[in-house]
C-alpha cells in the first residue's frame, strides 16, 4: 500500500516553468535536468514496487531531520519485521568503483551514493530510536536505468542493478508480511516527521517582468503565435492542442510561479501573450476557479 505517493516537488515544478519562460544559466539548467531525471527514475522504481503483492506500507519522498541534519529518503517500505530503505539513481552510461569512489569510465569522480545511503540509515535509525521504535533497516541502492553499467561493484553492498530488479521484487513477494496497528503507527510517526519545505531549494531569483509571456507547446517548448477556433498548433512540431487545455496549463504555470498573486482575466490575458481572447479566458476561469469581488475588481481563487 502506497501511503505517501510521489509527486513533483515544488522546486521541480517552478524550474520546469522557468525553463520555458526564462533563459536559465547553464548551472541552473543542469540542476533542473538532474532533478527531472531523478524524478523520472523514482517514478520508474515505483512501477516495480506496485508489483509487490504482500502486505507492505510504502512512503515516498520523505524529508526528515535528526540532530540538526536533514536527510532525504526516496522510498521506505515497511514490512512485518523490518524496513527496507531505497536510494534510487537514474544514472546512465558506464561507471566503476575505485575503492570507495564512484567514477565514470572516463575517470570523472561523482558523489558516492553508497555513502549517502549509509548516512540516511544512520540518521533514520537514530530518529526511530528517539521515538521508541527499534526495527531493523535494510538499505538498498537501486539503479533503474537499463542503459546503466557498473563495474567492480563491492560484493558486500546492497546494490540492485537494472537487470536484477525483477528478481528483487520476486524475492520480496516470497516473504511473509502481516501488518498491524504497530506498523500503521510507525508510518504515521514518519509522516508526522516529514518536512514539507526543503531547505535545499536552488530556484534562481525571478520576477514577472523578465519572463516570456505566451502559450507554449508542452512537447517542445515553442511559443504558439496563433490559433484557430478551439485548436492551437505548435509552429515547430505541429502538435495540435485544445485551446482550453493549453489555457489551463498556462494558468497553472502562473499559479506555480506566483502562488500568492490574485488571478484575473486581464492578468492571464497578459500572461498568455494576449493570444487567447479575454472572453475565453473569463469563461475558463469561471468554470475552474471560484470568483471573488465584482466587475473589474473580480479575481479568482
For the chain, the structural domain boundaries read: 2-193, 211-300
190, 76 contact by CB (below 8 A): yes
What stretches of the chain show up as alpha helix (H) in DSSP? 10-21, 26-49, 113-130, 165-173, 181-193, 243-257, 265-271, 278-288
Average pLDDT over residues 90-108: 93
Is this prediction's pTM over 0.85? yes
Question: Which residues, including other chains, have CB under 8 Å from residue 183's CB and lie 6 or more apart?
Answer: 57, 78, 80
The rounded percent of the chain whose pLDDT value lies above 70 is 94
What band does 212 get if pLDDT is binned at 50, 70 and 90? very high
Average pLDDT, the chain: 89
152, 112 contact by CB (below 8 A): no
Average pLDDT over residues 263-291: 84
- Residue 297's pLDDT is 43
pLDDT at 198 > cutoff 90: no
Backbone angles phi, psi at 101, to 5 degrees: -105, 140
- Residue 128's pLDDT is 95
- Residue 220's pLDDT is 76
3, 75 contact by CB (below 8 A): no
Average pLDDT over residues 174-195: 94
Cell triple for 256: 506555480
Distance from C-alpha of 21 to C-alpha of 6, rounded to nearest angstrom:
26
- Residue 278's pLDDT is 87
Amino acid at each position: 500500500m502506497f501511503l505517501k505517493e510521489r509527486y513533483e516537488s515544488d522546486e521541480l515544478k517552478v524550474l520546469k516553468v522557468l525553463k520555458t519562460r526564462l533563459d536559465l544559466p547553464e548551472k541552473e539548467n543542469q540542476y533542473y535536468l538532474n532533478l527531472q531525471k531523478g524524478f523520472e527514475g523514482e517514478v520508474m522504481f515505483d512501477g516495480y514496487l506496485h508489483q509487490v503483492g504482500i502486505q507492505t506500507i510504502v512512503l515516498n519522498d520523505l524529508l526528515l531531520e535528526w540532530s540538526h541534519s536533514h536527510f532525504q529518503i526516496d522510498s521506505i517500505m515497511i514490512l512485518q519485521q523490518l524496513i527496507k530503505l531505497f536510494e534510487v539513481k537514474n544514472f546512465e552510461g558506464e561507471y566503476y568503483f575505485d575503492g570507495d569512489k564512484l567514477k565514470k569510465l572516463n575517470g570523472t569522480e561523482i558523489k558516492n551514493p553508497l555513502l549517502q545511503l549509509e548516512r540516511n540509515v544512520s540518521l533514520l535509525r537514530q530518529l526511530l530510536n528517539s521515538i521508541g521504535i527499534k526495527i531493523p533497516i535494510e538499505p538498498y541502492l537501486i539503479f533503474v536505468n537499463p542503459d546503466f553499467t557498473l563495474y567492480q561493484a563491492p560484493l558486500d553492498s546492497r546494490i540492485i542493478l537494472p537487470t536484477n530488479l525483477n528478481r528483487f521484487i520476486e524475492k520480496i513477494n516470497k516473504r511473509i508480511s502481516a501488518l498491524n496497528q504497530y506498523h500503521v503507527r510507525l508510518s504515521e510517526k514518519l509522516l508526522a516527521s516529514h518536512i514539507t519545505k526543503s531547505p535545499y531549494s536552488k530556484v534562481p531569483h525571478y520576477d514577472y517582468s523578465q519572463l516570456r509571456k505566451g502559450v507554449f507547446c508542452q512537447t517542445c517548448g515553442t511559443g504558439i503565435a496563433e490559433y484557430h477556433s478551439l485548436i492551437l498548433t505548435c509552429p515547430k512540431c505541429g502538435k495540435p492542442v485544445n485551446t482550453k487545455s493549453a489555457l489551463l496549463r498556462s494558468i497553472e504555470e502562473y499559479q506555480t510561479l506566483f502562488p500568492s498573486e490574485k488571478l484575473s482575466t486581464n492578468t492571464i490575458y497578459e500572461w498568455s501573450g494576449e493570444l487567447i481572447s479575454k472572453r475565453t479566458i473569463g469563461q475558463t476561469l469561471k468554470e475552474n476557479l471560484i470568483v471573488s469581488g465584482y466587475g473589474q475588481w473580480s479575481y479568482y481563487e
